[in-house]
């Protein structure tokens, strides 16, 4: 559950929480792109969100939809900086094909990892 994820990160005293998802949008199969979210009350999460968003967008070549704040449970309930990366839209056939491709998945993972490393180097 979402609570279990946050509880685990808090119990393990993680330094950064990164939740990775694939998005969907009802009634629009053309919308595509990558978003990264942080909680509006946790400004400590904004910088890692910006860095990870930039890195994953560059590495994957995906559409950069930017950084936004949202009241998602995994962002709200974690005690450490936390971000949620939406890697693309499963409801967009072209993007779904990319999301199912292991090569593209590796690019996304490399971008997220590079973003984390860049954040820690600051």
Active site residue 86: yes
Catalytic residue among 12, 13, 86, 95: 86
37 CA to centre of own chain = 7
- The H-assigned helical ranges of the chain are 2-11, 46-60, 73-76, 93-100, 102-121
82-89: strand order across its sheet: 17-23, 82-89, 34-38, 64-69
Active-site residues, by number, are: 86
């Amino acid at each position: 559950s979402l609570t279990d994820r946050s509880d685990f990160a808090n119990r393990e005293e993680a330094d950064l929480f990164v939740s990775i998802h694939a998005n969907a949008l009802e009634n629009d199969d053309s919308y595509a792109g990558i978003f990264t979210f942080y909680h509006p009350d946790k400004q400590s999460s904004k910088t890692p969100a910006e860095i990870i968003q930039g890195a994953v967008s560059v590495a994957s070549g995906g559409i950069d939809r930017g950084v936004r704040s949202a009241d998602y449970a995994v962002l709200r309930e974690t005690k450490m900086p936390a971000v949620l990366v939406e890697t693309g839209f499963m409801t967009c056939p072209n993007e779904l094909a990319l999301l199912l491709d292991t090569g593209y998945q590796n690019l996304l993972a490399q971008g997220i990892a590079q973003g984390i490393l860049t954040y820690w180097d600051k």
